[in-house]
Structure 1
């Protein structure tokens, strides 16, 4: 079975990691994972798309094998900056960008900031901001942020006796995950501690809500700058209301939305064949049209 190459780069004083699936002569395809996840979460999709693209799957700062940010700095624009430092995207043609959850938000910010760098955009259950929502007053955002930091100070990471135990915890959160997939995700998402136990690789501080985040209306402003075709996929059984989120397509110049039934927030794991079919049709791949 094909395996990606492990590579590193520097951004913002951090040593960040990405997975390179090869096929460098093909157009670039960037896979952006969500919060508390990692680049190897995309393996099934990456293998299917690699014959047609140069597939790159970064571990975002604070995730996977990338450094944790000093001071817990994880505002979405900082993730966007890290993408601008990715070596495979330098001097490359416009990329197809696929993002899940928080990674979808990052993908949309990237495409709205640099519309000339994105050929196509796919967002998997990632419209987590309503542009018409009211932003909390600054003092409330500050108070919330300070409280989150206080609660995390000195917090010890959870330890699991074995990787199987970590995988079982993932299945407890997503009943659709099978044993093999959950074990794969846990193997790449946890590191071994000195005592032989395992803890998750992601930095707990990435959960903190930065007080200097963009206003909801500013997301809409950036979405309106996206010039490439966009596909917004929503899970029928997500914590995000699919019908309400699908209305976000009106902020884009050229977007359509689809609801994937019988899938929760991790729709690429819950309905992988259907997600791959929809993406394949959208990027006009031969295997999709033959189904």
Structure 2
């Protein structure tokens, strides 16, 4: 694996695993995570050409000057793929926020896209019409309460906190933290943009989210976590009906099951890829 600090035009950092596969897997991480969250999975699919991006404001990527809106992540992926000049079919793998972005990208830009894998996330977040104004008010008020990051005297403290917060072991936490901190004036600080903690003022309506999911043409795979399901069975069944071709696997593990249970997640992904290449 090779760590690239920046794409020159988009200021997006990424990790690339070179291989001779006839397709390229582009990996999109979750909110407040980074490309290193895919390290355990990359080791399980070492024969596959993979590119794992750091979204803006995450990992080693630059911060945005303004705020963070969901649709801008779709633009980030589009520009990154264009700049990387990937000249073979692409399979998108997204975790959590990355799965939401991947679904929306697949709907908007189906060309050259071979498949879609969503890990504990499915389609964009939606909001009931009657909640629009309340959500907008709350999101804008949040912007007045952004606080500077607090420093840690020891890196181990950040590792333990991240492990506890995400329900992962310290080995996996270390992978995330090493790409998520910077040392300054003798203290360790989170690299991520504090504005990431703010809600986006506008979300898709339920009908818009449905339209996006129904526009996905590619055979798709959802891998959901059993131990800490952000996606309820009812939610999955409801949204699964929006997809033309979606298979679902419920695997052991919490929300970061692609780190905790990377071998089983890789097995499902490999089996899925065999059906589409």
TM-score normalised over the length of structure 2: 0.90
Q: Which residue of 1 aligns with 2:32?
A: 36
Which structure ranks higher in relative contact order (CA pairs < 8 Å, sequence separation ≥ 6)?
Answer: 2
**Alignment of 1:170 onto 2:159:** no
Deviation at 1:48, TM superposition (A): 2.5
Aligned residue for 2:6? 8
The CA deviation string for residues 136-155 of structure 1, in whole angstroms up to 9 with x for no partner, is 44432321111110111xx1
Partner residue in 2 for 1:126: 121
Is the Cα–Cα contact under 8 Å of residues 123 and 212 in structure 2 kept in the other structure? Answer: no
Could you tell me how far 1:49 is from its partner in structure 2? 2.1
Q: Distance in 2 between matches of 1:157 and 1:240?
A: 27
> Which secondary structure state, in structure 2, belongs to the residue aligned with residue 115 of structure 1?
coil
Looking at structure 2, the residues matched to 200 and 24 of structure 1 have their Cα atoms a distance apart, in angstroms, of 36
Instruction: Tell me how far apart the structure 1 counterparts of residues 19 and 125 of structure 2 sit (CA, whole Å).
Output: 38
Determine which of 177, 191, 196 is the counterpart of 1:186. Answer: 177
Higher mean C-alpha displacement, 94-103 vs 214-223: 214-223
- Aligned alpha-carbon RMSD (Å): 2.1
> Does structure 2 conserve the Cα–Cα contact (< 8 Å) formed by 1:233 and 1:260?
yes
Q: Does 1:200 align with 2:187?
A: no
Equivalent-residue separation in structure 2 for 1:91 and 1:180 (angstroms):
32
Whole-Å separation in 1 of the counterparts to 2:54 and 2:122:
21
Q: What residue in structure 1 maps to residue 274 of structure 2?
A: 284
1:97/1:120 contact within 8 Å kept: yes
Deviation string 1:50-79 (CA, Å, 9 cap, x unpaired) is: 413x2101100110111111122x212101
Query: Does structure 1 retain, via aligned residues, the 8 Å contact 2:125–2:204?
Result: no
Query: Hey, what's the Cα distance between the residues in 2 that align with 1:48 and 1:55?
Result: 12
Contact kept? 1:135, 1:215, Cα under 8 Å: yes
Give the structure 2 partner of residue 231 of structure 1: 221
**Equivalent residues of 2:32, 2:192 under 8 A apart:** yes
CA distance in 2, matches of 1:24, 1:85: 24
Contact kept in structure 2, 1:111 and 1:226, CA below 8 Å? yes
Which consecutive aligned stretches of 4+ in structure 1 deviate over 4 angstroms post-superposition? 128-131
User: What does residue 22 of structure 1 align with?
Assistant: 18
Q: How many residues get paired?
A: 273
Task: Give the deviation of 1:164 after TM superposition.
Answer: 1.1
Matches of 1:25 and 1:129, distance apart in 2: 30
Gap runs ≥5 in structure 2: none
The CA deviation at 1:89 is 5.0
**What is the aligned counterpart of 2:71 among 77, 93, 115?**
77
The CA distance in 2 between the partners of 1:191 and 1:185, in whole Å, is 12
**1:60 has 2:60 as partner:** no
Instruction: Tell me the equivalent position of 1:109.
Output: 104
Residue 148 of structure 1 corresponds to which residue in structure 2?
Answer: 142
Check whether the contact 1:171–1:182 (CA below 8 A) recurs between aligned residues.
yes
Report the CA distance shift for 1:220/1:89 in structure 2 as closer, same or farther (over 3 A): farther
How does the TM-score come out when normalised to structure 1? 0.86
Map Cα deviations across residues 119-163 of structure 1 (whole Å, 9 max, x no partner). Answer: 1111000137576x51344432321111110111xx120211122
**For the structure 1 residues 271 and 135, does the alpha-carbon distance in structure 2 shift closer, same or farther, using more than 3 Å as the test?**
farther
Please say if 1:255 is aligned against 2:249: no
